[in-house]
Amino acid sequence: MKIMRTLYHLPLCPFSRLVRIALQEKKVEFRLVEENPAERRVEFLTLNPAGEVPVLVEPDGVAVSGSGPICEYLDEIFSDPPLIGESPIERAETRRLVAWFERKFNAEVTVKLVDEKLHKRLQRRGEPDSGTIRAGHANLGQHLDYIVYLVERRRWLAGERITYADMAAAAQLSCVDYLGDVQWAAHEPARDWYARIKSRPSFRALLADHIAGAPPPKHYADLDF
Amino acid sequence: MKIMRTLYHLPLCPFSRLVRIALQEKKVEFRLVEENPAERRVEFLTLNPAGEVPVLVEPDGVAVSGSGPICEYLDEIFSDPPLIGESPIERAETRRLVAWFERKFNAEVTVKLVDEKLHKRLQRRGEPDSGTIRAGHANLGQHLDYIVYLVERRRWLAGERITYADMAAAAQLSCVDYLGDVQWAAHEPARDWYARIKSRPSFRALLADHIAGAPPPKHYADLDF
């Protein structure tokens, strides 16, 4: 029996989603295992003492933890296609934008909307806070403006080729889009860019994710939204 | 006149400190410019739309933003000494630990102590919250335990050679140590490791930093603390 790579993930975790897209783009076979870090499973903590998904376990059992380290690792061992960039400055630009979406967008938008509207309800942690949700929506508008700014100057977010920057941004946006919270009509160039990513085979599995008790809106998996 | 690299930084910003150590370890000449991101200076926002330090500006004017992108960039253009590691798995381990200290330690310890005890007072944002400070101290103890766990198994945090993992951890700890808040005596192996980093020439400039109105404790710059 062939021993496969294993990715420990959560379906609506944007960091896990980035790695799922990256593995698909690089045509790496893997199996998905859903891991709820809140359970603090001892075997999982042995793999990643930080107790967070995503964790990629190699066929020999070695674990690589965190979306940043996993994406860098994948680009080093599967260099075709390159997903960071060619020159050091191009690579710095990709990494700047990955950090923008994985830190800034995640804190200012994804956590405020997905955690407040979905996880709070599913985990029975009380009523969503309308002020937090309003702030998340306002921030989302600004981030969509920034995506528009970038794609009006470049074919993809970091330059002329698709990179982890596009995948990190789309991974975050896909979680918010699962709630139906993205005002695509007000940001046409961002929608066109997202449609290009969404129609890639690497995105397909994400669009099939369904959270029990919280179905996505009709347009979520629609490639012509 | 030779045009030098410029690093926009803040003295007690742990991310800026990591880059300062990295530049010194790689023997790269640079000049430091203090930038207060809260001022939202237009010229600075042009360099880094995220409006955060550190930002490294190359002699040709190109900017590289964020400690992660800057450290990766420096390792690509100045490969000697290598500060991430040799094999892809070693490099993944360095990056995992850098993320551990720059995200987890920073949120659980540095922000809770440095922001609460120092920045709040200097910026007249009210009284420090004793619950937050208590949590910061408790978390700090756990992180020091983790450093002890690592250095009892390896010469440096990520393996047998010094890497960005050591520098990221020491950069965070140096900010907390500026407050005099590290219980070194209760964590001897962590102190021995920190003493090794602290005595490196690359650390010297950090130990000379003085914040107006908040002098460091006597042991802060002491190599035999």
| pLDDT tens sequence across A143-198 | 999 999 999 999 999 999 999 999 999 999 999 999 999 999 999 999 999 999 99
Task: Say how far apart CA A54 and CA A32 lie, in whole Å.
Answer: 10
Residues of B with CB under 8 A from a CB of A: 48-50, 62, 64-66, 68-70, 72-73, 76-77, 88-89, 91-92, 95-96, 99-100, 104, 146
Q: What tokens were used for A14?
A: 């944007």
Task: Say how far apart CA A53 and CA A88 lie, in whole Å.
Answer: 29
Phi, psi of A158 (to 5 degrees): -100, -5
- Span B14-20, mean pLDDT? 98
N-term to C-term CA, chain A: 42
Phi, psi of A145 (to 5 degrees): -60, -40
Of A66, A70, A100, the CB nearest to B50: A100
CA distance A96 to chain B (A): 6
Q: What tokens were used for B81?
A: 């000494």
Question: What single string gives the DSSP state of each residue in A49-78?
Answer: TT--S-EEE-TTS-EEESHHHHHHHHHHH-
CB pairs under 8 A between A and B: 66
CB A9 within 8 A of CB A35: yes
A55-57 and A63-65 strand pairing? antiparallel
Averaged pLDDT of chain B: 96
| pLDDT tens sequence across A69-122 | 999 999 999 999 999 999 999 999 999 999 999 999 999 999 999 999 998 988
Please give the distance of CA A165 from its chain centroid, rounded to a whole number.
Answer: 10
Across B116-135, b (16+ Cβ under 10 Å) vs e yields bbbebeeeeeeebeeebbeb
The domain locations on chain A are 88-200
Residue B172 identity (one-letter amino acid): Q
Which residues on chain A are in Cβ contact (under 8 Å) with B66? 95-96, 99
Whole-number pLDDT of residue A1: 61
For residue B5, the surrounding DSSP H or E stretch is strand B5-9
Which residues on chain B are in Cβ contact (under 8 Å) with A77? 88
Residues 6 or more apart in contact with residue A29 via CB below 8 angstroms: A4, A5
| Contact flag A95-B62 (C-beta cutoff 8 Å) | no
pLDDT at B2 over 80: no
Whole-number pLDDT of residue A203: 96
CB B20 within 8 A of CB B168: no
Report how far apart, in Å, the C-alpha atoms of B23 and of each of B34, B82, B91, B106 are. Answer: 16, 12, 19, 21
pLDDT at B1 over 80: no
Q: Which CATH number fits domain B88-200: 1.10.287.3510, 1.10.10.10, 3.40.50.300, 1.20.1050.10?
A: 1.20.1050.10
Q: What tokens were used for A180?
A: 């139906």
Task: Say how far apart CA B206 and CA B32 lie, in whole Å.
Answer: 12
Q: So what's the ipTM on this one?
A: 0.96
Of A69, A89, A100, the CB nearest to B95: A69
B5-9 and A55-57 strand pairing? unpaired
